[in-house]
Amino acid sequence: MRFRNIHVMVNPVSGRSPVDIDMIRSKLEASESAFRIVLTEPDAGPGMLARRAVEEGADLVMAAGGDGTVLGTAEGLIGTGVPLGVIPEGTANVFAAELGIPYDSGAALDLVLGDECDVRPVDVGSVAGKHFLLRVGIGLEASMTVETDPGVKKRLGVLAYLWTAFDLGRRLNPILYELELDGRKKWVKGVTCVICNSGNVGVPGVKLMPEIDPSDGYLNVIVVEQASFRAVGSLVYHALLSVFPGKKEWGERRHFTLYTCTAREVSVKPHPPQIAARDGEVMDAGFPLTVTLEPKALLVAAPAGKGV
């Protein structure tokens, strides 16, 4: 796959260190592609800049930043037929890990400029009028994401989220989640409800559940029923299953302290209300939250034959 007109959206404040713009420019200059590098600003976000890039004839728009920059750029490309490229520069880079895109920013750019790149469609989630690529978290998962100290994230990366989860989990009691799954009502007790498009946890090849696939047209619902070492063990067990090839389970079921199911549309109402986050950003929408999916609405430049 060869791209002739590449626009790169750079978030200058992503991750643990500044984005290496000189490296990006050098690699693009060595290619045969026309290119433009644009810095995001508070009044010129990646979504607006991505839409402008499409209008200017870009045949690939890349996001150099973390998952927030990737999501913002993707929002400007949904339904346009112009693919998204990712140069991982954030703390976790979960979307890159999901699709098998190298964490090293230089290697990720080499992938796009080389012959081992493929353009693949992925699903895009919607909630409260906004999109998400990864997941909607309610309760512990949302609190873990938004309450982790930025300084700790810079030092520890993904491990910082686990530390926050253990700290918060000790003080949480299970509540009732009122779920509506493709019109079918279900009540489940737990400490967190996660509605996933992507299951990756920020480590290449490792997912919350092995069957979660951002290109299958389904949302995966996971309710963790208790904050305990047994629950952590169950999550680790299923994360390890995702590393090894094998039969993937589908449908509604319970695994020790986990309730899981799949649906095309999910409505959730916690009793009492909890904090909710969309791809790590707090949501101010009220409950119930209705989560839907736009199948294969986004094209992504990714390694051929890897990831989902």
User: Cβ distance 85 to 99 under 8 Å?
Assistant: no
pLDDT at 128: 93
**Which residues are 301's β-sheet partners?**
119
Backbone angles phi, psi at 292, to 5 degrees: -125, 175
pLDDT of residue 211: 82
What is the per-residue pLDDT for 15? 60
Tokens representing 263?
């649906």
Given a contact cutoff of 8 angstroms between Cβ atoms, the answer to whether 101 and 120 are in contact is no
CATH of 5-115, one of 3.40.50.10330, 3.40.50.150, 3.40.50.2300, 3.40.50.720: 3.40.50.10330
The whole-number pLDDT of residue 308 equals: 43
Residue 82 DSSP label: P
Closest to 123 (Cα-Cα) out of 90, 164, 79: 79
**Residue 240: per-residue pLDDT:** 45
Question: Is 3.40.470.10 the CATH classification of the domain at 130-295?
Answer: no
> Digits of tens for pLDDT over the chain (308 positions)?
589 999 999 988 766 668 899 999 999 999 988 999 999 888 889 999 999 999 999 999 999 999 999 999 999 999 999 999 999 988 778 999 999 999 999 999 999 998 889 999 999 999 999 999 999 999 887 777 666 655 655 565 555 555 555 555 556 788 999 999 999 999 999 988 999 999 887 666 667 777 889 999 999 999 987 655 454 444 444 444 444 555 455 555 555 577 889 999 999 999 999 999 999 889 988 899 999 999 999 999 999 865 44
CB 125 within 8 A of CB 197: yes
Q: Quick one: 280 exposed, middle or buried, by C-beta within 10 A (0-12, 13-18, 19+)?
A: buried
- Listed in sequence order, the residues at least 6 apart from 65 whose beta carbon sits closer than 8 Å to its beta carbon are 9, 10, 11, 14, 15, 19, 40, 46, 87, 89, 90
Domain with CATH 2.60.200.40 in the chain: 130-295
Residues of the chain with CATH 3.40.50.10330: 5-115
Q: What pLDDT shows up at residue 153?
A: 56
